Amino acid sequence: MKIKTHNDLEVYKLSFKSAMEIFEITKNFPKDERYSLTDQIRRSSRLVTANIACPVE
């Protein structure tokens, strides 16, 4: 199978799935952590996927 885009990479699929799971898990965090710790965890999990998709020059 030829890789045409980042969507074809297994590591991209796994990181995307993990980011979605992290989002669901953090829904159960305490409300007082919702805007600090929760936001930071969610952003960092999405950053992994974004870094895989972003071409390096």
Confidence (pLDDT) at 54: 84
Residue 15 or residue 3, greater confidence: 15
What are the two backbone dihedrals, phi and then psi, of residue 4, each rounded to the nearest 5 degrees? -100, -40
Mean per-residue pLDDT for 11-25?
94
Spatial distance between the Cα atoms of 37 and 57, rounded to a whole number of angstroms: 32
Output the DSSP codes for 1-57: ----SGGG-HHHHHHHHHHHHHHHHHTTS-GGGTTTHHHHHHHHHHHHHHHHHSPP-
Q: What is the pTM of this model?
A: 0.78
